[in-house]
Amino acid sequence: MKTGKISTLIVAFALCFMAIVLLRVSLMPEMESPHNMLKKLAPFSHTTKLPDFDAYHDVGEKKAAFFDFLRPIVQEINQDTLKKRHDVNRLLTKLENGESLSSKESQYLSMLAAEYGIEEDTPQSMAERLLKRIDIVPESLVLVQAANESGWGSSRFAKEGLNLFGQWCYSKGCGIVPAARGHEMTHEVTVFNTVEQAIASYIQNINTHPAYQLFRSIRAEQRLKGIEPDASRLVYGLLNYSERREAYVEELLQMLRHNRQYLERNNETDNQTVSAV
């Protein structure tokens, strides 16, 4: 008898719990839950190996293969970023109209603020500041920087750690120790599990690190003017990416010009690339 009563109580509790869950789901706003959004912070695909770009003996074929391999991954991450940007714009419009956010919307906004390194503030201020950080890095700029930093996918760090952008880490064992690292230096070159993770980390770095505030300011100004983020102008915001500074920026500009035919191979679906060159 005791077992029967306990089973009945468990069933009753389960039914009650399910009713509460269904009620909460029915009351949800159109925006996806923070749990689902957290899943989307990481790209969907998982590319764990680079092609052997050294196998290409023709320079043009190697360039085309490199860009064509990375392009869909960059597009996927940029689209995910634009989705979050759209969400923030919608919340900001709601706040500007004097409406209050739901608890779920407030939670989502706070989650994005934490992700993009913005301290808690009023919801409207957080949304305004997020719009300066949650935005794309033009596809063409991502591609030429990856080519520059990884030697067209041929560097040791690209092959062993999928590190296409020369990103560093500072805890012992976090990555690959550079052979030419000075005795006083402690950095390592980050090892990534997937190409998607490497590109997402690079874009996140550009969107959050204080060194690239100029980049974000140029991009925000372009948005205010109704201009899509333009690689040939935004490249000047990467002055601090390399110790070579102006020479590095000039090199990237030359790469944008000289590789236009390869960057435009997919221009029917990439208007940003066309405007960038």
DSSP state for residue 197 in the 8-state scheme: H
Residue-level pLDDT at 38: 33
Residue-level pLDDT at 39: 39
Model pTM score: 0.79
Residue 265 — pLDDT band, cuts 50, 70, 90?
low
Q: Is the per-residue pLDDT at 1 higher than 80?
A: no
Residue-level pLDDT at 266: 56
Q: CATH code for 54-276?
A: 1.10.530.10
Structural contact between residues 135 and 243, judged by C-beta atoms closer than 8 angstroms: no
DSSP state for residue 136 in the 8-state scheme: P
Q: Is the per-residue pLDDT at 180 higher than 90?
A: no
Q: What's the chain's average pLDDT?
A: 83
Q: Is the per-residue pLDDT at 182 higher than 90?
A: no
Residue-level pLDDT at 100: 96
Find the angle CA(149)-CA(202)-CA(78) to the nearest 5 degrees.
Answer: 115
- Take residue 256 and report the two structure tokens written for it: 């944008």
Compute the CA torsion angle 99, 102, 108, 109 (nearest 10 deg): 30
Proportion of the chain in helix, strand, coil states, percent, rounded to 5 = 65, 5, 35
Cα Rg for the chain, rounded, in angstroms? 23
Q: Which residues touch 134 (CB under 8 Å, ≥6 apart)?
A: 81, 84, 85, 88, 112, 116, 207
Question: CA 224 to CA 274: how far, in whole Å?
Answer: 20
Q: What counts of helices (H) and strands (E) characterise the chain?
A: 13, 3
Single-letter residue type at 158: A
Please give the average per-residue pLDDT across 7-21, as a whole number: 39
Classify residue 117 as left (phi > 0), alpha (psi -120 to 50) or beta: left
pLDDT above 90: percentage of residues in the chain: 69
Structural contact between residues 168 and 188, judged by C-beta atoms closer than 8 angstroms: yes
Question: CA 63 to CA 6: how far, in whole Å?
Answer: 68
Q: Which of 27-41, 44-58, 195-209, 218-232 has the lowest mean pLDDT?
A: 27-41
Residue-level pLDDT at 44: 55
Please give the average per-residue pLDDT across 176-198, as a whole number: 83
Q: Is the per-residue pLDDT at 83 higher than 60?
A: yes
Distances (CA, A) of 256 to 164, 206, 212, 253, 277: 17, 18, 20, 5, 7
pLDDT above 70: percentage of residues in the chain: 78
Q: Summarize pLDDT for 120-174 with one digit per residue, the tens.
A: 889 999 999 999 999 999 999 999 999 999 999 999 999 999 999 999 888 887 8
Domain range summary for the chain, segments of one domain joined by +: 54-276
- Take residue 250 and report the two structure tokens written for it: 């000039």
| Cross-sheet strand order for the sheet of 188-190 | 168-169, 188-190, 175-176
Residue 189: its H or E element: strand 188-190
Q: Is the per-residue pLDDT at 2 higher than 50?
A: no
Q: Which residues touch 230 (CB under 8 Å, ≥6 apart)?
A: 138, 222, 275, 276
